[in-house]
Amino acid sequence: MVVFIIRKFFYMIVVLLGVITSSFIVNYALPGDPARVMLGQRADEQSVIALRKELGLDRPKIIQYIDYVGKVLKGDLGKSFTTNRTIIETLQERFPATALLTITALLFSTIFGIIIGVIAALYQGKFLDSGVMAIALFGISMPSFVLGLLYLLVFGVILDILPISGYIDRGWNHLILPSMALALRPLSIIARVTRSSMIDTLSQDYIRTARAKGLSEFTTVARHALRNALNPVITTVSAWFAGLLAGSYFIEYIFNWPGIGMFTIDAILKLDYPAIQGSVLFAAIIFVLVNFIVDVLYAVVDPKVKLG
């Protein structure tokens, strides 16, 4: 197990280095001179050269690269053009809001997604199954921002029972609409993945063995089938988790949720390159970290995952 974790950790470091390198390269693949972009088209040549020197852009690329990697490893992602604060500071400040929204939405969608998926699998081909799966299809097809706007309209304006904008510092009920808007898609997908994985597992020989032992249907399903069916579900949940942690752009924007997603959208609208680069790099690191944790989790759930 220890060797397994060390190896996965080693792979993670390699991937992280790759991520940092590509974010460095992307910076140079962008058209235009960063200094020129920072100062704007009308700036005179003198100040551009001065800024290039200040930013170290006149040094050889390899030195710049080493410098960049060193800075990133120290947590220095540069300064935002617009706010003039370090990016890492802003990300740290905004991460809790995003994490709260993500965890709430995913807890909800995982728990209910699995329950719905299992029920659909048990009633495979019957009315309940087709009904639930039709709703899930709707949930998958509906983009979260449309759903967000719909919620705003129905619960916030027409029924006027939930607040439509702002963070929990103004009350916990502010969490409900954005997290529910965010939860429907992963919930639908988790339900579908659970259903198909369960149907597959329920046809396995060891389920027949469990029934032949005289176990009740509930024990057979909950104890013997569910754990075997979980692997693809973990993959789905983790992909969503990593994706949402990096910022749920539209939902945060619509509900004025002060998270990373909103920060990124702001940065894009204002062409704040270091901020964009910083949040993209941050998203990539979150992805890699979450995947590392999931790999270890697989090994815990399924004893057959090779530890050697």
Partner 1 sequence: MSQLLEVRNLITEFRSENRITKAVNDVSFSLKRGRTLGIVGESGSGKSVTSLSVMRLIPDPPGKITQGNILFYEKDGNATDLLTLPEETMRTYRGNRISMIFQEPMTSLNPVFRCGDQIIEAIMLHQKCSKAEAREKTLQLLRMVKLPRPETMIDQYPHQLSGGQKQRIMIAMAMSCNPALLIADEPTTALDVTVQATILDLMRELQREHDMAMMFITHDLGVVAEIADDVIVMYKGKIVETGSVQQIFEDPQHPYTKGLLACRPRLDMKLKVLPTVRDFMEEHPDGSISERSHDGVTEVLTRVAITKDEIALRNSVLAQKTPLLSVKDLQVYFPIRTGLFSSIKGYVKAVDSISFDVKPGETLGLVGESGCGKTTTGRAILRLVEPTGGSVHFNNQDVTTLSSSELKTLRRDMQIIFQDPYSSLNPRLSVGSAIMEVMRVHSIFNSDNERKDYAQYLLDKVNLLPHHFNNYPHEFSGGQRQRICIARALAMKPKFIICDESVSALDVSVQAQVLNLLVQLRDEFNLTYIFISHDLSVVKFISDRIAVMNAGKIVEMEYAQQLYDMPKEEYTRSLINAIPKGTVEDIRKRKISQ
Footprint of partner 1 (CB under 8 A): 3, 6-7, 10, 125, 204-206, 208-216, 224, 227-228, 301-304, 308
Q: Cα(152)–Cα(222) distance, rounded to whole angstroms?
A: 38
Burial of 86 (0-12, 13-18, 19+ CB in 10 A): middle
Task: Output 61 or 213, the one with its CB closest to partner 1.
Answer: 213
Q: Cα(210)–Cα(262) distance, rounded to whole angstroms?
A: 50
Q: Cα(266)–Cα(249) distance, rounded to whole angstroms?
A: 10
Dihedral sign computed on CA atoms, order 217, 221, 223, 225: positive
> What is the smallest separation between the CB atom of 10 and partner 1, expressed in angstroms?
8
Task: Output 123 or 167, the one with its CB closest to partner 1.
Answer: 123
Task: Output 59 or 227, the one with its CB closest to partner 1.
Answer: 227
Task: Output 184 or 199, the one with its CB closest to partner 1.
Answer: 199
Q: Cα(101)–Cα(245) distance, rounded to whole angstroms?
A: 9
User: Are the C-beta atoms of residues 124 and 199 closer than 8 Å to each other?
Assistant: yes
> What is the smallest separation between the CB atom of 234 and partner 1, expressed in angstroms?
13
> What is the smallest separation between the CB atom of 134 and partner 1, expressed in angstroms?
21
> What is the smallest separation between the CB atom of 211 and partner 1, expressed in angstroms?
6
Task: Output 47 or 216, the one with its CB closest to partner 1.
Answer: 216
> What is the smallest separation between the CB atom of 55 and partner 1, expressed in angstroms?
40
Q: Cα(264)–Cα(256) distance, rounded to whole angstroms?
A: 13
Q: Write the CB contacts of 128 (distance below 8 Å, at least 6 apart in sequence).
A: 119, 120
